[in-house]
Structure 1
């Protein structure tokens, strides 16, 4: 037999080797997803359908035309998937129709085939003929080309298929023996399997298609194994004496909600919940979801230390930059390693992935290869942290996703927060098919936990600068929280004589922001915006903060006396609600928060939940309207997910739903140009700042797209930038800084 190849230069992969590689990965995925059988309702058949799909998927490459294409780089002009299905016709198997559809669609969706082989659709041609008064188009051209390609298949290869099937049975890849006769289908596969296909009840084929696509892609990328996490990694929990709520989490089976104070070990609770699923083999992979990049990076560091870099993925829009910064500090990995982690994270190929919800939600928009995303989310565990941080639209989509993955994908979800109002918790509970377990810290324990004394004060932060300076001189470490970037910068500049200070907000370039997040633990003064509410593992002595809704304030308070080891710490909350605060927060809720806190002296943890429910006794009408519209639309959209159909515009549609355009201050133009000249363009993300679509439109006159070599282009903003202050406001009441 002549050597047949699946891929040409530079690796020249032999066809049989590629087929065996894909079969092996499909076999591993079936182990990786132990409940796939029950999800697809194919019972004992799922294994052999998956393995046979993997084996036959590229057999069409045995055509002489494809082999000539590899050697000459001249396009063959035909689809190997069509020939693969024709070769499959010689197999005796009752589910040959499913395998045929999966193979036909492993590169293109059905819309491609119905468009490019339209002459085979007799019903369509009859309709066109009736409308326009023309004769039915001739299908002979498609059939003639099909028959021509069939005649060019390597006969020796066909004769070897029975031996391959026997080998796969002997090696326990296949559960059953199969007979194969070297014959080819006389019926065109598009006409036989695609045109008459109905999408009703096609969910199992979504997962099967995802399994073949994932196996094929990973084999082509040289990935030979799927990492499984060793149960021994969970033994770190044995070093802790678990608290009551952590023990309840450990024992909780199924979907669960944990409400516990900041610093009470919620992360350990969630891992204790997950541990039993890994122990019993009910799952092999876990997604840990957080809303913000900084908190994701922090959790990634923690998990990669516990479970190993080789088992932990990072998934957000600036993951590569974060990976380089995180690991370069400890010299654990190279830049090339960071690129590999990023790419494998995008493929969801880690037992543990720390991610934003948006990286996962996009798969429900039927983007190209969405099936691999749904496949690898099936049977998974989802730990959802800081769920209170989402706006109405985001919450609607997120809970829509939770509804789908718990209903259709067999996934289990653990949601946790220090602050979930009852009205929001009810929406979360309603997104599950059955009511989740609710875990709370015992009130008697909470009543003994008191870290903060609340002081409502008038005026503005500037009225207290001298007081704050004196406290710093006495050895106290102070946090000041402003609601706008403009206010934070103005406050920060009033402490010019305090040397050991840092400013944190959302308009620093990525490189500077990362450096500042490293500094926050040992500063005398931290001035920040809402950016300090989550993720930063810091512990200061006192706080001065501008007013905000109660849930936001409670997150801020959690950065002071975090572990309760400092006795009672003072929190000073301003009562004056300025224009910037009204622009950012619901004025009624903010006023209600201040009114509620006026009656509080010592904030013990047992009164936090009643206070939250008092402030949020109902969701405002606008939130309710946006949430319901988004949630219901998302549910409708997931009901319309169809097998073998991609939405070519879905990715753009999805990204337009969210604010986020990266710009670079013009002061870094030369730096970026030099990086591109040195082929270090991946490092340009160090100099980006994310602004919203509204902000982009507002500043369109000073934002320009600059073109570089290699077809690269970036948006640059003509606005002053300082590494200590970030982007500097240029106009009065500038929305970029509110």
Structure 2
């Protein structure tokens, strides 16, 4: 008897892989109980889809030349559904899930068999003959195990026993009508959209995890028990207690340092589905920046310890895991599957599900009845914010709940959020807020062109020497930061920090600051400092920016001063550079921020007033911004509702380029990168990548070229622009660059 393998290297029999996948599906079934309410019968249908999904692999060509066979095994698997004791609808749902578990319907266009009168045998008939060469294996090895697998999965004394192989099964396989199946999909798409999504999502999740060597998904331990190891319940703040008792969507306003993260976890604990004391709901903690995501992942690891239950998702997550000495290959793969119960992520990773990128049905299945925590939601551009609001609207029908928390939220943005769904609101009292007051604001007439004189006039260096902590100089553009760094480094010990360093150099600079802070007099940074390092500077001199951004910058000064009631001075310049008008749109927000701070000049910035002041700043442009956000929301909803399950959506590379910009290797490191690629050390290449905003790429396009990534169709972008570890990537072309 000829054997049939589902996996190679190592070899795994068809029934073994199938049982592994059934184990995963059973684990999901035991955790995702809500799916039965959203789509009754989904777990029974999915069982038979998983049971039959790989039976087509028994074909001789697949067994001998898996990667060179040139045919789709799932086309041979789908016809077996006709032997299931189900009505036509259920059989079609199962067949479509099997048929599309690797390729979408549109990708299979032209491959699916279509019988035409007076035309001879199809390629399908030839491949079916290859499958039937192992008919004995199917009849004697695989199918006899089905009743036991049914009994194991359904856990009843009388399992359904839906599968019955008739005597003429070999002839009937060749009669399966793929065209009729496709027509049924087209005719029933709208009414079956959710079920089709879950069918493919569950089969993909089961198959992918089984192929990764897993036999189940994980659950989160009780959050309160874990938090009590860090914060005794009697020491919880009022809003944390209120959050732990709040059911449904929640909007939380609280100052930096209040403990919003703990409040969010307590809210999630209250609203989660549970089984045997463990949390089965999937929790997504959503932040706008990679640096803050990495920091939050480390913080969550401090609470839950196990990297398998705390995931991290962003475009550089694999390198972060690698640099953290974690099992990056396995974990980064599992984090993209329905495996890890709590994930710290960018919103862009979730958007993929709604734009139809990749296996979007699997992510949508995971997002059903999920708990989403949006932190720093004020930081997004109107286009991204509009897409987030559209996601929230779509997730309502999937039972998801959201918590939005911030220290600075304009009124117009609060109203937009509340319009997507009912939100309960929690705010700290004025008295409680003012306990967190830490800064006295000074508005200084001038700009960074006179930074040396301002440091002397404001006695900033004296403050540095007094505290043994550097002062923070914050610029709005990289070019201005480089200019200030060069000027100050002539007389002071200065650390530059901005977005145009390679990841390796930036990591080294941040590590140096954390470990040897007293070695520096000044840190000259751009907006990256608003979200990255958990350090406390002696004071700050900053270019003007929107008030909410300035408050984030102030938060890097005197971080724990509220504990002792200590107030520190912070300084805001009245003028920036011409580049600022391209960075902050509309620029009127910056002008209004300066005006409002001038009214506070020399006074404490009371925490109880911040929300009111931020709303006041945005008031003159709130109508315009609201229309812009609403426009993006409507356009996003239009796209979302056009995405079809089991069909290809947005191209993944194009999707990332829409939001993330590009990454390039400075030309000076091209040789080193080529050497690493030759040695198959691709992960180390990440240390030499530099983030490139799209405007810079288009402005200097003639100075970029491609370097082969040693993989077909893959390449690395090289920037033939000047680079050094002190200033980063500059807009100065390298003469005689090695252009390819």
Scaled by the length of structure 1, the TM-score of the pair is 0.89
Equivalent runs, 1:468-487 vs 2, <5 Å: 468-475=460-467, 477=469, 478-487=471-480
**1:107 corresponds to 2:108:** no
Query: How far 1:516 moved relative to its partner?
Result: 1.9
Partner of 1:195: 183
CA distance in 2, matches of 1:680, 1:144: 45
Partner of 1:441: 428
Of the three residues 96, 107, 117, the one matched with 2:91 is: 96
Of the three residues 416, 439, 445, the one matched with 1:452 is: 439
Partner of 1:164: 145
Q: Give per-residue Cα distances to partners, 1:106-147, cap 9 Å, x unaligned.
A: 122222444333734x8xxxxxxxxxxxxx784864785587
Query: How far 1:422 moved relative to its partner?
Result: 0.6
Secondary structure of 2:663's counterpart equals strand
For residues 469 and 495 of structure 1, do their structure 2 counterparts lie closer, same or farther at Cα, with a shift above 3 Å needed? farther
Contact 2:273-2:281 within 8 A present in 1 as well? no
Secondary structure of 2:441's counterpart equals strand
Contact 2:205-2:338 within 8 A present in 1 as well? no
For residues 499 and 464 of structure 1, do their structure 2 counterparts lie closer, same or farther at Cα, with a shift above 3 Å needed? closer
Partner of 2:604: 602
Q: Give per-residue Cα distances to partners, 1:699-721, cap 9 Å, x unaligned.
A: 11222223465556322222222
Contact 2:473-2:541 within 8 A present in 1 as well? yes
Query: How far 1:287 moved relative to its partner?
Result: 1.2
For residues 602 and 671 of structure 1, do their structure 2 counterparts lie closer, same or farther at Cα, with a shift above 3 Å needed? same
Equivalent runs, 1:204-353 vs 2, <5 Å: 204-231=195-222, 232-236=225-229, 238-239=231-232, 241-278=235-272, 280-281=274-275, 283-307=280-304, 308-325=306-323, 327-328=324-325, 333=326, 337-347=327-337, 349-353=339-343
CA distance in 1, matches of 2:191, 2:629: 29
Contact 1:277-1:283 within 8 A present in 2 as well? no
Partner of 2:721: 719
Contact 2:62-2:73 within 8 A present in 1 as well? no
For residues 152 and 453 of structure 1, do their structure 2 counterparts lie closer, same or farther at Cα, with a shift above 3 Å needed? same
CA distance in 1, matches of 2:513, 2:108: 57
Contact 1:503-1:725 within 8 A present in 2 as well? yes
Partner of 1:426: 415
Comparing 137-146 and 548-557, the one that deviates more: 137-146
Partner of 1:535: 532
For residues 284 and 540 of structure 1, do their structure 2 counterparts lie closer, same or farther at Cα, with a shift above 3 Å needed? same
Query: How far 1:693 moved relative to its partner?
Result: 1.9
CA distance in 2, matches of 1:76, 1:720: 48
Comparing 167-176 and 102-111, the one that deviates more: 167-176
Partner of 1:679: 680
**1:689 corresponds to 2:690:** yes
Partner of 1:584: 583
For residues 107 and 247 of structure 1, do their structure 2 counterparts lie closer, same or farther at Cα, with a shift above 3 Å needed? same
Partner of 1:26: 25
Contact 2:412-2:626 within 8 A present in 1 as well? no
Partner of 1:465: 455
For residues 109 and 497 of structure 1, do their structure 2 counterparts lie closer, same or farther at Cα, with a shift above 3 Å needed? closer
Of the three residues 162, 165, 168, the one matched with 1:182 is: 165
For residues 143 and 137 of structure 1, do their structure 2 counterparts lie closer, same or farther at Cα, with a shift above 3 Å needed? farther
Query: How far 1:68 moved relative to its partner?
Result: 4.5
Runs of 4+ in 1 over 6 A off after TM superposition: none
Q: Give per-residue Cα distances to partners, 1:676-708, cap 9 Å, x unaligned.
A: 232212211111111122211111122222346
Secondary structure of 2:6's counterpart equals coil
Equivalent runs, 1:6-85 vs 2, <5 Å: 6-8=6-8, 10-40=9-39, 42=40, 45-62=41-58, 66-72=59-65, 75-76=68-69, 78-85=71-78
CA distance in 2, matches of 1:370, 1:72: 30
Partner of 1:493: 486
Q: Give per-residue Cα distances to partners, 1:410-440, cap 9 Å, x unaligned.
A: 21211111111010111111122xx111111
CA distance in 1, matches of 2:715, 2:480: 33
Consecutive unaligned residues of structure 1, counting only runs of 5 or more, are: 123-135, 732-738
CA distance in 1, matches of 2:718, 2:11: 43
Secondary structure of 1:324's counterpart equals helix
Partner of 2:558: 561
Secondary structure of 2:404's counterpart equals strand
**1:667 corresponds to 2:668:** yes
Secondary structure of 1:494's counterpart equals helix
Contact 2:216-2:339 within 8 A present in 1 as well? no
Query: How far 1:500 moved relative to its partner?
Result: 5.2
CA distance in 1, matches of 2:579, 2:124: 69
CA distance in 2, matches of 1:179, 1:597: 72
CA distance in 2, matches of 1:698, 1:195: 49
CA distance in 1, matches of 2:660, 2:70: 41
For residues 244 and 708 of structure 1, do their structure 2 counterparts lie closer, same or farther at Cα, with a shift above 3 Å needed? closer
Contact 2:368-2:399 within 8 A present in 1 as well? yes
CA distance in 2, matches of 1:603, 1:72: 70
Comparing 681-690 and 359-368, the one that deviates more: 359-368
**1:87 corresponds to 2:80:** yes
Contact 1:662-1:690 within 8 A present in 2 as well? yes
Query: How far 1:233 moved relative to its partner?
Result: 3.4
> Number of residue pairs matched?
698
Q: Give per-residue Cα distances to partners, 1:352-377, cap 9 Å, x unaligned.
A: 21111112212212123211111122
RMSD: 2.6
Consecutive unaligned residues of structure 2, counting only runs of 5 or more, are: 734-740
Secondary structure of 1:257's counterpart equals strand
Contact 1:210-1:374 within 8 A present in 2 as well? yes
For residues 679 and 179 of structure 1, do their structure 2 counterparts lie closer, same or farther at Cα, with a shift above 3 Å needed? closer
For residues 380 and 112 of structure 1, do their structure 2 counterparts lie closer, same or farther at Cα, with a shift above 3 Å needed? same
Contact 1:400-1:635 within 8 A present in 2 as well? yes
Contact 1:51-1:173 within 8 A present in 2 as well? no
Query: How far 1:265 moved relative to its partner?
Result: 0.9
Secondary structure of 1:194's counterpart equals helix
For residues 147 and 598 of structure 1, do their structure 2 counterparts lie closer, same or farther at Cα, with a shift above 3 Å needed? closer
For residues 218 and 643 of structure 1, do their structure 2 counterparts lie closer, same or farther at Cα, with a shift above 3 Å needed? same
Contact 2:217-2:338 within 8 A present in 1 as well? no
Partner of 2:393: 403
Query: How far 1:471 moved relative to its partner?
Result: 2.4
Secondary structure of 2:263's counterpart equals helix
Of the three residues 385, 405, 414, the one matched with 1:416 is: 405
Partner of 2:736: none
Contact 1:165-1:177 within 8 A present in 2 as well? no
Query: How far 1:387 moved relative to its partner?
Result: 0.6
Q: Give per-residue Cα distances to partners, 1:155-199, cap 9 Å, x unaligned.
A: 452366664332134324365331543223464241342233221
For residues 279 and 88 of structure 1, do their structure 2 counterparts lie closer, same or farther at Cα, with a shift above 3 Å needed? closer
